[in-house]
Amino acid sequence: MPRLKRVLIANRGEIAVRVLRAARDLGIETVAVYSTADRDARHVALADRAVHIGPPSASASYLRREALVHVAQASGCDSVHPGYGFLAEDADFARMVAAAGLTWVGPDPETITQMGDKARARALAARAGVPVVAGSDGILRDDDEAVQFGREHGYPLLLKASAGGGGKGMRVVHGEEELMPALALARQEASGAFGDDGMYVERYLSSVRHVEVQVMADHHGGVVSLGERDCSVQRRHQKLVEEAPAPCLTDSVRNNLSETAVRLAAAANYRGAGTVEYLLDTATGDFAFIEMNTRIQVEHPVTEEITGVDLVAWQLRVAGGERLDGIDSPVARGHAMEFRITAEDPTADFRPSPGRIARFDPPSGPGIRCDTHCYSGWTVSPYYDSLIAKLVVHGTDRDESIRRARRALDEFEIDGVATTLPFHRWLLDQPEFIDGTHTTSYLAERLARTHIQQEAMT
Ligand code: ADP
The kind and range of the H/E element at 272 are strand 272-280
Cα 373 off chain centre by: 17
At 166 the pLDDT is 78
Q: Which atom of ligand 1 is nearest to the CA of 202?
A: 23
What fold is seen in the domain 134-203? Dna Ligase; domain 1 (3.30.1490)
The closest residue, in CA terms, to atom 2 on ligand 1 is 165
Q: What is the CB < 6 Å shell around ligand 1?
A: 133, 158, 164-167, 170, 202, 204-205, 210, 234, 237, 277, 279, 290-291, 440
Which of 187, 209, 254, 295 is the catalytic position?
295
Contact assessment for residue 199 and residue 187, using Cβ atoms and an 8 Å cutoff: yes
Q: How confident is the model at residue 451 (pLDDT cuts 50, 70, 90)?
A: low
The closest residue, in CA terms, to atom 22 on ligand 1 is 204
- Cα–ligand 1 centroid distance for 206 (angstroms): 11
Which range scores top for mean pLDDT: 114-123, 304-313, 330-339? 304-313
Task: Decide if pLDDT at 452 tops 70.
Answer: no
What confidence tens digit (pLDDT) does each residue in 189-217 have? 988 888 889 999 999 998 999 999 999 99
What's the rounded mean pLDDT across residues 258-275?
A: 97
- Cα–ligand 1 centroid distance for 371 (angstroms): 26
The closest residue, in CA terms, to atom 15 on ligand 1 is 237
Report domain extents, the chain.
6-105, 134-203, 208-448
At 144 the pLDDT is 94
For residue 108, count other CB atoms closer than 10 A to its CB. 20
Q: How confident is the model at residue 2 (pLDDT cuts 50, 70, 90)?
A: low
State the Cα–Cα distance between residues 323 and 325, nearest whole angstrom. Answer: 6
Q: For a substitution probing ligand 1, which of 89, 290, 340 has the most ligand atoms within 8 Å of its CB?
A: 290
Of 254, 280, 268, 253, the C-alpha closest to 223 is 268
The closest residue, in CA terms, to atom 21 on ligand 1 is 204
Q: How confident is the model at residue 49 (pLDDT cuts 50, 70, 90)?
A: very high
At 94 the pLDDT is 98
Q: Which atom of ligand 1 is nearest to the CA of 167?
A: 3
The kind and range of the H/E element at 423 are helix 421-427
Strand partners, 161: 199
- Cα–ligand 1 centroid distance for 96 (angstroms): 31
What are the C-alpha distances in Å from 66 to residues 10, 93, 325?
A: 12, 8, 36
- Residue 399 burial by Cβ neighbours in a 10 Å radius (0-12, 13-18, 19+): exposed
Q: What is the CATH number of domain 6-105?
A: 3.40.50.20
For residue 359, count other CB atoms closer than 10 A to its CB. 11
What's the rounded mean pLDDT across residues 372-385?
A: 98
Q: How confident is the model at residue 137 (pLDDT cuts 50, 70, 90)?
A: confident
Q: How confident is the model at residue 419 (pLDDT cuts 50, 70, 90)?
A: very high
The closest residue, in CA terms, to atom 14 on ligand 1 is 210
What confidence tens digit (pLDDT) does each residue in 126-135 have? 999 999 998 9
Q: For a substitution probing ligand 1, which of 170, 240, 295 has the most ligand atoms within 8 Å of its CB?
A: 170
What confidence tens digit (pLDDT) does each residue in 86-125 have? 999 999 999 999 999 999 999 999 999 999 988 899 999 9
Is 295 an active-site residue? yes
Q: Provide the terminal-to-terminal Cα distance of the chain, rounded to the nearest Å.
A: 55
Task: Decide if pLDDT at 368 tops 80.
Answer: yes
The average confidence (pLDDT) of the chain is 94
State the Cα–Cα distance between residues 287 and 291, nearest whole angstrom. Answer: 13
Task: Decide if pLDDT at 431 tops 70.
Answer: yes
State the Cα–Cα distance between residues 301 and 15, nearest whole angstrom. Answer: 11
At 165 the pLDDT is 79
- Cα–ligand 1 centroid distance for 30 (angstroms): 35
Q: Which atom of ligand 1 is nearest to the CA of 204?
A: 24
For residue 61, count other CB atoms closer than 10 A to its CB. 24
What's the rounded mean pLDDT across residues 15-39?
A: 98
State the Cα–Cα distance between residues 372 and 441, nearest whole angstrom. Answer: 28
Contact assessment for residue 280 and residue 286, using Cβ atoms and an 8 Å cutoff: yes
pTM (two decimals): 0.95
Q: What is the CATH number of domain 208-448?
A: 3.30.470.20
At 447 the pLDDT is 86
Q: Which atom of ligand 1 is nearest to the CA of 441?
A: 16
Task: Decide if pLDDT at 455 tops 70.
Answer: no
Q: For a substitution probing ligand 1, which of 136, 237, 280 has the most ligand atoms within 8 Å of its CB?
A: 237
